Amino acid sequence: MEYISHPMVKPKTVERRGYQLSLAASALLKNTLIVLPTGLGKTVVALLVIASRLLNEDGKILFLAPTKPLVEQHAKFLKATLKIGENSIVSLSGEMLPEKRPDVYKISKIVVSTPQVIENDIIAGRLDLEDFVLAIFDEAHRAVGNYSYVFIAKEFRNRSRKPLILAITASPGSDPERIREVIRNLYIENLEIKTEYDPDVRPYVSERDIEWIKVNIPPEMDSVRKSFERALELRYRRFERLGLEIDLKGLSKKEMLGLQEALQTQAGESGEQVYFEALSILAEIMKIQHAIELIETQGLEALKKYLKRLFREAKGRGSRASKSLFEDPVFREAMIKAMKINIEHPKVKKLLEILKGQLKNNPESRIIIFTNFRDTADKITEILREKGFRAEKFIGQANREDDRGMSQKKQIEVLDSFRAGEINVLVSTSVGEEGLDIPATDLVIFYEAVPSEIRAIQRKGRTGRGREGRIAVLITRGTRDEAYYWASVRKEKMMYNMLYRIKDELAERKSEESLARYIDYEEDQRVTIFADSREMRSSVVKKLRDRGVKIEIKSLEVADYVLSERVAVERKTAEDFVNSLIGKERLFSQLINLKKSYQRPLLIIEGENLYGRRMVSPAAIRGAIASITVDFGIPVIFTRNEDETAEFLTAIAKREQEIKKREISLHADKTKRSLREELEYVVSAIPDVGPVIAKNLLSHFRTLKNLANADVEELKKVPKVGDKTAEKIWSFFNAKYDEEG
């Protein structure tokens, strides 16, 4: 075997492959998106680019990956292959205390991290990307919408002295607009595509046999399915009677979600009851469709767990759709029928046959079973252990109702045990699809087909890595399993056709045109806004930065945003505002504190469909807004979305700080002020006196007593105090207190 020879790479650690060298060489010239099938060494390409950049440029490297296990995997690989001290490579995933991270950034040469950590640290001012010369985005297909990759790429492009971006993925998807969005968001100028069939790649691809194993749905399950289909048909008819001329039958889950969003917009803008009714029926339809999908692809055990969750939701303060379902005798009859039947899905029996056959032929096999649902992962793991298999589940970290996630430490332990052979069957949800390097996997089983070409490619890539592999797809005949499988095959073909077309587009585009879309960073950040640390969960902070605003993250006792010494803003989404009316004391106490602390308090209510919330009547909402405006004297600003909120905040901050020349201060932070700051605070509260004039007055008169006793002529001697301001200060100190007023 021939190894890579490079001054920055440890000898005999990385196999030399021509296609990886050519991809790395291309990526060093301009911002590049590399599409390379799973198992063919995307991380090695990244390593070669890192090594060259470290050798030729004085700067740091940022390596981003979407999950904690991937971060640990990449950091471990880099430490094993690069000729730099292991302490120079740090992995971050949010578990390190934020206040410790700035010191880590200073001493590190390579930072491997989840994007959320980097995004938060940039916003909070703990990290500046000026000294970073390479940013790598693993699983780059995620760089769409509001995902952290998008924000970081823009910051890196605008802040770095010598920015170079490398984006890598096995599957960016078949949607041309999504691919173009990834390219725009990561400032890609060059697209490199390799497939398993390319001549320079083919020698490194092991054979993978794909089997489609079909089972029949048992009559008992089919009877339950038909009962739920009757409940579904009733709702299709109810929806038709609304007269919206929308045919719901045959719509995919994605199309249903898109329709739901469109109806919400219509309901918010028009306020017409028909759209609210349509939304409720649509929600019921989607819940029933999910129940049918569970029957077809997972079995009655998963269905029963889902129905129990729906029942708890209906009995509690759940959605109107859940309550409506359980009031429907047709749905209740279907549910009762499902609860009475105890039968396993035929996939379970077939799964056991496949596993036994595989381990009989190769007792040292490593096997991964992929399933979409945690409930199914739990059940399969339980059954396999009962049958004597060394099985373990592998799920994400998020905690859900009655279901604790898996900690990062536990995830790493499970993967290490699987690699070592202590576990021979890994039952994984989607968290195991992306990027994890498990080279010894002999068999991958899809417990159900997936319609996504991205996920199908990721799953298949878990085997055939260095030796022959096998893929088995379990399909229930005559169900969405079959439709999903063929959808993923079709989309994969479309993906490659689209990628080559976009590659040609990029090649034809002039470099000046590609650079024209970059948004220049405004170096002169004259406007500053203080934002509460909890606001980092919204996109408003990022959108403010896009507008050139300097953001300082604070733990604010009062308000979400402070725009000047006198203006502070409480921000509520429409949903939060309505929810807060149920417990009015909390909302109104927040506003009382805001009013006490700032001269010009504001309330922003963000989002549409304010009056379409079912738990509070429109009259109650209007009454609350009237009380806030009239009784509290707090103006209310309505914004459509986070973009518009950011525009308002920027406009007000500019008016206060640039036009009115007012400084920015935290009036509510009383406990932390020195005596000098307390004096400045008291004087700055006088009408027409801000922090600058307050300092001038105190410097001139030295004490509050002297200031209070000064006449108008003495006051006018102070810099920036004119006739009008002097009169107001004198009047303030000489005004009589009126107990009745």
In CATH terms, are 208-215+346-487 and 673-734 the same topology?
A: no
Q: What is the pLDDT of residue 613?
A: 58
Among 52-66, 87-101, 471-485, top mean pLDDT goes to 52-66
Q: Which residue has the higher pLDDT, 419 or 435?
A: 419
Helix, coil or strand: residue 509: coil
Is residue 470 a contact partner of residue 442, using CB atoms and an 8 Å limit?
yes
Q: What is the pLDDT of residues 523-577, one digit of tens each?
A: 445 789 999 988 988 889 988 988 889 898 888 888 999 999 889 999 999 888 8
Q: Which residue has the higher pLDDT, 101 or 397?
A: 101
Strand order in the sheet with 528-532: 550-554, 528-532, 561-562, 567-573, 600-606, 636-639
Confidence of residue 434 (pLDDT cuts 50, 70, 90): low
Half-sphere exposure of residue 369: CA atoms within 13 angstroms, side-chain side: 31
Alpha carbons 495 and 462: distance in angstroms, whole number: 20
Report the pLDDT averaged over residues 134-152.
Answer: 94
Q: Could you give the angle at which helices 300-315 and 219-241 cross, rounded to 10 degrees?
A: 40
CATH topology of domain 219-340: phosphoenolpyruvate carboxylase, domain 3 (1.20.1320)
Q: What is the pLDDT of residue 585?
A: 52
Q: What is the pLDDT of residue 523?
A: 41
Among 33-42, 267-276, 678-687, top mean pLDDT goes to 33-42
Q: How far apart are the first and last CA of the chain?
A: 92
Q: What is the pLDDT of residues 227-278, one digit of tens each?
A: 999 999 999 999 999 988 888 887 878 788 888 888 887 887 777 889 889 9
Alpha carbons 395 and 407: distance in angstroms, whole number: 9
H or E element at residue 471:
strand 469-476
Helix, coil or strand: residue 210: strand
Task: Give me the residue spans of the domains in the chain.
Answer: 18-204, 208-215+346-487, 219-340, 540-670, 673-734
Query: 540-670: which CATH number, 3.40.190.10, 3.50.50.60, 3.40.50.10130, 3.90.1150.10?
Result: 3.40.50.10130
Q: Rounded to an integer, what is the distance from CA 57 to the centroid of its chain?
A: 32
Angle at 502 between CA 497 and CA 504, to 5 degrees: 100
CATH topology of domain 673-734: DNA polymerase; domain 1 (1.10.150)
Amino acid at 304: K
Report the pLDDT averaged over residues 374-403.
Answer: 84
Report the pLDDT averaged over residues 420-434.
Answer: 80
Q: Which residue has the higher pLDDT, 204 or 152?
A: 152
The pLDDT of residue 491 is above 90:
no
Query: 18-204: which CATH number, 3.10.20.30, 3.40.50.300, 3.60.15.10, 3.30.70.360?
Result: 3.40.50.300
CA distances (Å), origin 104, targets 64, 96, 109: 16, 10, 10
| Superfamily in which the 208-215+346-487 domain is placed by CATH | P-loop containing nucleotide triphosphate hydrolases (3.40.50.300)
Least confident of 53-67, 179-193, 313-327, 595-609: 313-327
Q: What is the pLDDT of residue 37?
A: 83
Q: What is the pLDDT of residue 583?
A: 60
Kindly report the number of other CB atoms within 10 A of residue 500's CB atom.
11
The pLDDT of residue 206 is above 70:
no
Least confident of 30-34, 97-101, 578-582, 700-704: 578-582
Confidence of residue 454 (pLDDT cuts 50, 70, 90): low
Q: Which residue has the higher pLDDT, 407 or 353?
A: 353
The pLDDT of residue 44 is above 90:
yes
User: Percent of the chain at pLDDT above 70?
Assistant: 89
Confidence of residue 521 (pLDDT cuts 50, 70, 90): very low
The pLDDT of residue 455 is above 60:
no
Q: What is the pLDDT of residue 282?
A: 93
Mean pLDDT over the full length of the chain: 84
The pLDDT of residue 216 is above 50:
yes
Q: What is the pLDDT of residues 305-344, one digit of tens each?
A: 888 888 888 887 667 888 889 889 999 999 999 999 888 8
Helix, coil or strand: residue 625: helix
Q: What is the pLDDT of residue 401?
A: 61
Tokens of 66: 């979407």
Say what the pTM is. 0.66
Q: What is the pLDDT of residue 287?
A: 92
Half-sphere exposure of residue 640: CA atoms within 13 angstroms, side-chain side: 7
Q: Tell me, what DSSP letter sits at residue 687?
A: T
